[in-house]
Structure 1
């Protein structure tokens, strides 16, 4: 370590504690110090001794270099992640998620020193966060389809399209499962974090499209606002299932033939029957009575929680795993990348995986 800067960064102590979801009182007990001492460390009012740093390393499974200050001038996440609601999880869970975003950006930044990531091609089409009835989400989705060259047909792999246009995606650790997918700008690469327990192909595709909607329309909006969540839903629906293309195919009655048509469209377009039912009503294909009857049928069959579908596996993120594979081909090991990015081992494994991994514990 350099001797011309602090031995231990207060921000890095707070970061790793929040990453593992440990309260100050719990950490103080593990270290045999007072909670006030931990607070003073994190505020920069008191420096931990070399012995304290060694103890921190043992608790969190990191080396002392983890606590070195972040280099000045590095890009960091801008703004808060777009969480669907601040009622879904605890404050500890939200802080843990924000810390996960930061260490993920540390890994992405390190990888970009070695590998050329896809250029960011993300339209900026701001939607008024106070305007509930807005055509901007539909127009934004249509524009994304146009500039990304997606045409009017089904999108075969939503996550791949998002990553190919410069947005990085990772699974969250299992201990974040109380939170839906979320997204954030920053670190030079926008990031989408996927819920690891969502095993429904159709729901996950909608989650990805929803978060893309936030990145396109709400870079500076206050997260958790009901209006912007509805706007992101409208964007996702239009991106995955264009209204003009589907209009004449959507059912006008929710009888047996109507449900068969929704199931057929679901498999062709990769969206849920609930999304298609909402679209049929919004486009005037269904009356309010027919729409309500459809909702009741969804509920009666237990399809509000999990609809039947032909595809069982979810789409897998590949940008980080592929970058690590490329580096491996030229002799740079994943461990070298991990050490340089200073990401704790367990979390590195989660970020580098194409599929969700088991919980990470301190």
Structure 2
């Protein structure tokens, strides 16, 4: 009877979530587990029979989540647009992988936020229209300047945009995206924090543009409906708007515009060192500001191609990679101050330690429980 009560709490949505997060179809999961696709489909439906303990253990092993993950209640979460900075090759599967990863980032964040005091949300939502209407690029330039003013940034280069957004209440995490044709993604729901997932496969300068692009979505498109976002024509415009915001936010016209005066690669490299943005993004910004024409931009691109600099540019190894710190410091504080033990964290979040460590940017095995029964003391840094 006790076992039946335990398994009556199986949450089918958790199975769908974990399967999609691992990029598997029901048929692929069934094959790996050694059961029929019909059985998996049945387990994923509410009001259907639950899998046996042995089957759950096999599913847990294949999907690399703890058994008790499937018995954790879903945190209420209404449908939301997930913004993808994606290449044309991005698939529905890859988008589902990252949408579910964002959900897990949210769960990990909410857990820590309930134990500690996180920064207040200070990200403005400038476009509040109930339906999507394209925003004029000049308006977007003004909005980017207003965000800088609200955050007291002046008009110079931003030293660390990841830490800046974390201070403004966003939660940022990184993940390898190299096989999924997605550079970054984000979501922001009413009465919730903005959540941003970045690739850790990019160079520092390109990654800075990615997060500025996601900030553009948060500022410009946070009230967008899913149906509007899924419209192909809308999507093209939405991406262009986020790109324009990113350019204007990272390279303000009133300051950057006065510093660029030649299309020589040596000059563009010196600007990259100062502004920490890729040469290609700098050159294209000069086109937006009508400092360069299209022919000059094409000439620069051709020169970059000749030097094999289209993917790996000069200074890429010199510009420091910006790592998220909010969740890392939060979990270190939770453990170091004995608010929770490592085992508590694993039992209550119900993801494997590797998953939480990756989300929170913690060292490998940081959350592995220490010797049972032994008391550890920590110095607060």
Give the TM-score taking structure 2 as reference length: 0.83
Query: Does residue 231 in structure 1 map to residue 241 in structure 2?
Result: yes
The question of whether the paired residues in 1 share the 8 Å contact of 2:178 and 2:201 is answered with no
* CA separation of 1:105 and 1:176: change in aligned 2, threshold 3 A: farther
1:47-81 deviation per Cα after TM superposition (whole angstroms, max 9, x unaligned): 2233332333343344432112525xx44364131
Number of the residue aligned with 1:115: 116
* CA separation of 1:354 and 1:140: change in aligned 2, threshold 3 A: farther
Number of the residue aligned with 2:320: 313
Query: Does residue 240 in structure 1 map to residue 242 in structure 2?
Result: no
- Aligned pair count reads 350
Number of the residue aligned with 1:195: 199
Number of the residue aligned with 2:55: 52
The question of whether the paired residues in 1 share the 8 Å contact of 2:26 and 2:41 is answered with yes
1:213-245 deviation per Cα after TM superposition (whole angstroms, max 9, x unaligned): 111111133167111111111111111111011
Q: Please state whether the residue corresponding to 1:84 is helix, strand or coil.
A: strand
Among residues 146, 158, 165, which one is paired with 1:155 in the alignment?
158
Query: Does residue 349 in structure 1 map to residue 357 in structure 2?
Result: yes
Q: Please state whether the residue corresponding to 1:181 is helix, strand or coil.
A: strand
Distance in 2, Cα, partners of 1:178 & 1:65: 32
Distance in 1, Cα, partners of 2:214 & 2:127: 14
Number of the residue aligned with 2:82: 81
* CA separation of 1:278 and 1:178: change in aligned 2, threshold 3 A: closer
In the TM superposition, residue 313 of structure 1 has moved relative to its aligned partner by 3.3
Q: Please state whether the residue corresponding to 2:323 is helix, strand or coil.
A: coil
The question of whether the paired residues in 2 share the 8 Å contact of 1:78 and 1:185 is answered with no
Q: Please state whether the residue corresponding to 1:22 is helix, strand or coil.
A: coil
Number of the residue aligned with 1:360: none
Among residues 254, 279, 285, which one is paired with 2:291 in the alignment?
285
Q: Please state whether the residue corresponding to 1:124 is helix, strand or coil.
A: coil
In the TM superposition, residue 104 of structure 1 has moved relative to its aligned partner by 1.5
Among residues 7, 29, 32, which one is paired with 2:31 in the alignment?
29
The question of whether the paired residues in 2 share the 8 Å contact of 1:168 and 1:191 is answered with yes
In the TM superposition, residue 346 of structure 1 has moved relative to its aligned partner by 2.6
Distance in 1, Cα, partners of 2:364 & 2:283: 30
In the TM superposition, residue 86 of structure 1 has moved relative to its aligned partner by 7.0
In the TM superposition, residue 136 of structure 1 has moved relative to its aligned partner by 2.7
Identify unmatched segments of 5+ residues in structure 1.
358-362
Among residues 310, 322, 325, which one is paired with 2:329 in the alignment?
322
RMSD: 2.7
Distance in 2, Cα, partners of 1:285 & 1:102: 42
Among residues 264, 268, 271, which one is paired with 2:270 in the alignment?
264
In the TM superposition, residue 312 of structure 1 has moved relative to its aligned partner by 4.2
The question of whether the paired residues in 2 share the 8 Å contact of 1:277 and 1:291 is answered with yes
Q: Please state whether the residue corresponding to 1:279 is helix, strand or coil.
A: helix
Distance in 1, Cα, partners of 2:208 & 2:119: 21
Distance in 1, Cα, partners of 2:31 & 2:60: 15
Structure number with higher relative contact order (C-alpha < 8 Å, ≥ 6 residues apart): 1
Distance in 1, Cα, partners of 2:16 & 2:118: 30
1:299-353 deviation per Cα after TM superposition (whole angstroms, max 9, x unaligned): 3222222221162431101111010111122112344223211123331121122
